[in-house]
Structure 1
Amino acid sequence: MRPTGAAAPVGAGCLGLLGGWAIRPLSLQLGWTTPEVSWLQVLVLVFVAGVIAITAWVTWRELQVRGQWLEPHRAVNRLLMAKSCIVVGALLAGGYAGYAVSWLGIDAELADQRMARAASAALVGLVITGVAIWLERACRVRNDDDADLA
């Protein structure tokens, strides 16, 4: 199995950017109120990033530092979590960034607030992508051939 390439997160980020940007004009056209990004949403994303980071650190320590092995089902679960969070984190980052961009130049009462919260959530989406890449890399196991070369 190969590490996740750049195409998947970049594609997900672009798709999220387009979708996030379209939410505000589409909701206005349909007569709905525009969605609000709350600090609770940002904090939930921070929590998710923290869980992934702790999992990456523990996995890296077990496999790379101590040279221990994980049970196969745990290794697969962590790798699956890493690969999915890379794509989902990029999708979230793009979606929230697109939503923040859609508020640029709008002279509304809460435009700055919505833009700041969405930008914060986009930043945390990038953090989720980064720590998920770290987790994916931490799941690598050394080959016996690699140990002979060191």
Structure 2
Amino acid sequence: MTQAPGPDGGPPPGSLRPTPPAALAGWAVAGLAIGWLVHPLSERVGGTAPVVSWTQPLALLLVAAILGAAAHATWRSVHVRRERLESHQAVNRLVLARACAYVGALAGGGYLGYGLSWLGSEAELGDQRLLRSVVAAVGGLAVVVTALLLERACRVPGDPPPA
């Protein structure tokens, strides 16, 4: 059954639009600016900038792997086996996907900004911080991509394409 469009010409009542790319870009830019400022501010205030360990990028990659597995399982359930998700399951997965997309964009931008702040630095651990921050930024990007895949997997066949 097809529902009539909403009063503003958007999706019908009770449906959601996909995560807007502009919102993700805004969170990534905010993270980039904050990450860039962490280096000079922490040196002024505390005397030393934070060290990025391998735990941070690996945690982001683990979250991306979990989201990817959830997206794959959801896609198979909804699109291959044509099973219907319970409404609370669909809402939970959509909320998880959207929240992870925003946080992944913010974290990825933050780590990228922090890593870029070390370019050309003569500091002892500058290269290490740069490398680990860039790997963490890639992890943040992976979280965003897998979160968007989970969001897409929740679409019910026959839904109108996003505008």
TM tier, shorter chain? over 0.9
Describe the SS at the equivalent of 1:91. helix
Residue 38 (structure 1) aligns with: 53
Which 4+ stretches in 1 moved above 6 angstroms? Answer: none
- Give how far 1:145 is off: 8.8
SS at 2:35's partner residue?
helix
For the pair 1:60 / 2:48, whether they are aligned, the reply is no
The C-alpha deviation readout for 1:72-131, integer Å capped at 9, x for no partner, is 111100000011111111111100000000001110111000100000000010011001
Tell me by how many angstroms 1:66 deviates: 0.9
Amino acid across the alignment from 1:18: A
Structure 1: how far apart are the matches of 2:30 and 2:85? 35
Q: Unaligned regions of 5+ residues in structure 1, if any?
A: none
* Shift in Å, 1:32: 3.5
**Over aligned residues, Cα RMSD in angstroms?**
1.5
- 1:17 paired residue number: 32
1:100 and 1:90 map into 2 onto residues whose CA distance is: 15
Instruction: Describe the SS at the equivalent of 1:70.
Output: coil
Amino acid at match of 2:51: E
Q: Could you tell me how far 1:144 is from its partner in structure 2?
A: 8.0
Equivalent residue runs for 1:84-103 within 5 Å: 84-103=99-118
Match of 2:3 in 1: none
Scaled by the length of structure 1, the TM-score of the pair is 0.93
Contact 2:102 2:144 in 1 (8 A): yes
Of Structure 1 and Structure 2, which has the larger fraction of its residues in helix? 1
Change (3 A) 1:144 1:87: closer
Rounded Cα–Cα distance in structure 2 between residues aligned with 1:129 and 1:31: 32
2:64 counterpart residue number:
49
* Residue among 20, 24, 27 paired with 1:5: 20
Q: Which moved more, 1:15-24 or 1:39-48?
A: 39-48
Task: State the partner residue of 1:138.
Answer: 153
Partner of 2:138: 123
The number of equivalent residue pairs is 146
Contact 2:58 2:139 in 1 (8 A): no
